[in-house]
Amino acid sequence: MRLSLALVLAIAVGVAAFAVLRDDDGATQDTGSVTLVGDSLNVGIEPELGKLLPGWQIDAHDRVGRATPEGIEELRDLDRRLAPVVVISLGTNDPDGSEREFRRLVDEAIDVVGPHRCLVWATIVRDGAARTGFNHELEEARSEHRNVRLVDWATLVAGSPELLAADAVHGTPEGYERRAEETADAIRGCPET
């Protein structure tokens, strides 16, 4: 009887350990390194990301007012120094009607990042509204590449417009906090490389 009880307990412990270790959606990362390349919206989340990702090395290359062409140039310059996770916030400062060029640059970013890194890109809001054409290009890129993750800032803001500052582009302190939380979740959800 004791042997049977011990065997049952050993099996139960083994099953519980397997259930805890197994993750059907892919492993989540507790530590790692991330490179940020973006505009003022990335600048706004930098302090929060540091708090949300303790133990992570964060290398930020963000600049206020940056448009996508300049951001992708920065990404190219960093090429071999990029971390396993790359977070991009670009497209807010691009001119209306440049969706085709934006998509070309998104594809270039995906090529630079390569298939063995994870690329996290935030959807775009300007003047209080989603930039639908730009976000469509990001959605298509995500559907075509398994290593691309989106932070759905546009949906978050649509549901909670108070997350936007008075300029209808940048986040309020709470907005940046929420954007950083979503970004940290996307980063942790990247497949380990």
Q: What would the pLDDT profile of 61-86 be if each residue is shown by its tens digit? A: 999 999 999 999 999 999 999 999 99
Q: 35 - beta bridge partners?
A: 59, 86
Where residue 140 sits, what CATH number does that domain have?
3.40.50.1110
Could you tell me the pLDDT band of residue 31, with boundaries at 50, 70 and 90?
confident
pLDDT of residue 69: 98
pLDDT of residue 191: 82
Residue 81 falls within a domain, yes or no? yes
* Buried-state track 126-158, b at ≥16 Cβ within 10 A, e below 16: beeebbebbbebbeebbeeeebbbbbbbbebbe
Residue 7 falls within a domain, yes or no? no
Mean pLDDT value across residues 165-178: 97
Residue 107 falls within a domain, yes or no? yes
- Kindly tell me if the per-residue pLDDT of 22 is higher than 70: no
Q: What would the pLDDT profile of 83-134 be if each residue is shown by its tens digit? A: 999 999 999 999 999 999 999 999 999 999 999 999 999 999 999 999 999 9
Q: Give me 86's structure tokens.
A: 């790359």
pLDDT of residue 193: 54
Question: Which of 35-39, 98-102, 154-158, 188-192 shows the lowest per-residue confidence on average (mean pLDDT)?
Answer: 188-192
Residue 2 falls within a domain, yes or no? no
Residue 141 falls within a domain, yes or no? yes
- Domain of residue 184 covers 27-188
Q: Give me 182's structure tokens.
A: 């979503």
* Mean pLDDT score of the chain: 88
Residue 36 falls within a domain, yes or no? yes
Residue among 193, 181, 55, 191 at smallest CA distance from 122: 181
pLDDT of residue 116: 95
pLDDT of residue 2: 53
- % of the chain with per-residue pLDDT over 70: 84
- % of the chain with per-residue pLDDT over 90: 82
What is the number of domains present in the chain? 1
- Kindly tell me if the per-residue pLDDT of 10 is higher than 60: no
